[in-house]
Amino acid sequence: MTELAQQLSFKFTWRSYQQKFLDYFQDHIEDDHLHVVAPPGSGKTILGLEMISRVNKTTLVLAPTLTIRNQWQSRLRTFFIKDSGFDRYSLDIKTPRLLTFSTYQSLHALDKSLIEEGKTLVDYFKEHGIRTIVLDEAHHLKSEWWKSLFTLKQIENLTIIALTATPPYDSTAQEVKKYFDLCGPIDDEIAVPDLVGNGDLCPHQDFVYFSRPAQSQMKYIVTYRERIMAFTNALLENADFQNMLLQHPMYANTAASLEAIYDQPSFFSSILIFLKAAGHPIDPKKLRFLGFKEKNIEFPDLSYEWLEILLQQLLVAQRSSLASYEGLLQPIQKELARIGVYAKKRVNFIGDDQLYRSLASSPSKLESIGAILIAEQKALREALRAVVLTDFIRKEFLDFSGTDTETLTKLGVVSIFQYLRTATDFKSAIGILTGSLVILHKSTISDFEKLIKGTQYSLTPLACDEEFLIVNSFGSAKNHIVATMTALFEAGAIKILIGTKSLLGEGWDAPAINSLILASYVGSFVSSNQMRGRAIRVDGRKNGKTGNIWHLACLDPTVADGGKDLEKLERRFEAFSGVSASGITYIENGLERLQLPIRYSADTNLQELNAQMLRLAAERDQLKERWFDAISKGSVLVREVKLPYTGNIPFEEAKKLRWGNASKYLLLEVALGIGLFFPEFLAKNIGTLLGQGVFRFIYLLLIAMVVGFAPKTYKALKLYFIFGNTHKKTKRIAKALLAALYAKELLHTPTTQVSIKTEQQSTGSFVCYLLGATNAESSLFVNLLAEILAPIENPRYLLVYRPWLFGQWGMRTYHVVPAIFGKRKQDAQLFHKHWRKHVNSSSLFYTRTVSGRKELLKARLSHIVYQFKEVPKKAITWK
């Protein structure tokens, strides 16, 4: 036994969820990789030190900042070092010891210096015997740090432990892949419900407050949409543009352009869709050549997405090969630039950055913040401790005076302050805390001066309102100012603190926060979760704390999905779990648990929605009850694949019309019809039965039944196969996947302990998950199932199923072989074997051949004929 295991011993008692994690530690670490997701408040650093002790090898801990590095040293001294002492640790990577705490920046700098000396990082690690690396706050890893860390992975038997509060799911696909290649799959996750149940996090809820754009913004949006519509209509009538598409090699000579079509199937689709929308008949030979029958093609509308794909290729990607059409393309480019759709060689109809920024920083959110704080103050009274976090300071509004808040045209710390100062009664309760601007109300100055003794600072009256003072400080005094402002907030001298997420988002701690407003739109999953972490911590000085986290959404009433501001919010909600807002109690990630409308329009009653949110926010005692009721219903976080309900009407109404009832009612109607029809038919044809015999009678009966009931029977069967069979097929696919994973020995939990579960939720969503497997196994299963069900991209192997009836009804006939089974032919055949056993008799195609590429192209174009638009999501639910 080395000195680490001998000298480091946890002095206290592990919390139940920590002990549960440690019970499985040896199983997780067998492959020398351990990836743990641990939310704020779970004791991540202490668990990390315990893992280091158990691995028992010379270790390097890497942190993103010096502050976090120093926290490791502090926790080591406080929680692990025995009375005899332990001093074989270092804070300098250049002088490593048995246990070294450093930063990613220092490792990167060391790597560069070693290269200059003709040495390598691998040799350095071997020389100093470093055999374990701990990656703390692994979500902070930046591109320039990757190479150094991946270089170290070539060291044999090197153990890598990755710790994070939030994996960077909203990064680019390439960055996410790098992250998981380095850290490995998630082995375990310390669940927020465990922390709430154990009293380490407080019961909390996320709410959304909606607003509509200000009148000036609305005018801009409507004008923007009208310009795009006018441009699109003009382009559809442009005969020269149509002729260019008709003469494009992909359309004019499809057979000779297959390789180009294989590489750009979406572009080829956009050509067909545009020409169809322009009223040009599509040559059926093109479609038959690709394997489609003309009668099955249901062309989608020419959406902005398709137009964007088309013009991006013509104006940028293929511009050099279209030189002869420059006289046509140049005016189109200029017009797109004029209306704000083309910039920096990027055509962007949908997510126009300028339009999104306009909504995300809409001054209408100032009114939202005011309304939220008024409601929270009414509910909490003197106990209110609210923090408003935003992205920018906006010092240009420091001179704002008067009461015309419409001139506060940008969202930021100062504009929020000025709105609250002039439009609400919170004046003496407000304070500002940022890295470069600190403002106090004069009523708090005496308390401030008592706390700040010994620190150099000066006070300057605010020009627009002398009741407020700007605190000026220099050098190290800034840290004392932050600590003092925090203390004033904790004590209640300041009840509403406005700041930037850069200063207060990570590392800053004020457990008294009970209301947090996230007026930030730059933030990612990671920063959003870190900001929430400020409000969900328990307050040791006050029992029974609850936390409300408010998210602001400015809706674009010109689009059905609410616009980019809401889309960003939906992605943000995927990063954290919480209790359902009303109705049946359950714990799940995502926005769905708030039970908001499926579609939004100019007619959506935002006042009613906001009133509902404010009412629920005031019910803090019920919030506690809902959390503990939901916690009692489960014991573990389960990863699942969710096929969301995408209908335009509420699911409860829709399900009466969908397959489950529609097909049954139709079949029942057929049965009842036959029951009523038969006596009448018998009475009318009794003479035939007696005179011409039974066979003649049966013959006439069958003809009458076919004529009368075949259409309804056909419709009922079609409804069942198209809609009713989808969820059953998903379960069969899951069974095939599970069997293949066991056959490839990627799962190790005994098969007798593992089962596939499916559920139709009250919201209409259909979910599928694995019960009884480890966290890592469940994660693998869910990722692969989502890959199979997702729109087809570029797999190496493809499964093709072609029954005649499916083709007639436009049912999905293509599925991918997951990449993990597609690397080797034997593995693809193994997956195919289990697919045939559990799903159907699909054929297996290798897509890197000519015939295989043709099948892949048809599969990727098949969105044109698919009836199913659901895109699978990966969800996390407490069960």
Quickly tell me which residue has 């442009």 as its tokens.
238
Query: For residue 84, what pLDDT is reported?
Result: 63
Residue 619 has pLDDT above 50, yes or no: yes
Quickly tell me which residue has 């949908």 as its tokens.
350
| H or E segment to which residue 696 belongs | helix 694-719
Longest Cα–Cα distance of the chain, Å, equals 119
pLDDT digits (tens, 9 = 90+) for 753-784: 999 998 877 767 788 999 888 888 898 899 89
Contact 792, 816 (CB under 8 A): yes
CB burial readout 444-480, b (16+ within 10 A) else e: beebbeebbeebebeeeebeebeebbbbebeeebbeb
Closest C-alpha among 839, 823, 820 to residue 731: 839
Report the predicted TM-score, pTM, of the whole model to 2 decimal places.
Answer: 0.83
Q: How far apart are the first and last CA of the chain?
A: 40
Contact 723, 811 (CB under 8 A): no
**Per-residue confidence band for 296, with pLDDT thresholds at 50, 70 and 90:** low
Coil, strand or helix at 742: helix
**3-190 CATH pick, 3.30.750.24, 3.30.930.10, 3.10.20.30, 3.40.50.300:** 3.40.50.300
CB burial readout 704-727, b (16+ within 10 A) else e: ebeeebeeebeebbbbbbbbbebb
Query: For residue 363, what pLDDT is reported?
Result: 85
Residue 433 has pLDDT above 80, yes or no: yes
Please list, in sequence order, all residues whose beta carbon lies within 8 angstroms of the beta carbon of residue 805, skipping any fewer than 6 positions away. 721
What residue spans in the chain does CATH classification 3.40.50.300 cover? 3-190
Q: How far is CA 136 from CA 4, 37, 48, 107, 164, in A?
A: 19, 11, 9, 13, 6
Query: For residue 695, what pLDDT is reported?
Result: 52
Residue 786 has pLDDT above 60, yes or no: yes
Residue 133 has pLDDT above 90, yes or no: yes
Query: For residue 649, what pLDDT is reported?
Result: 55
Return the DSSP state at 847. Answer: T
Mean pLDDT of 433-441: 93
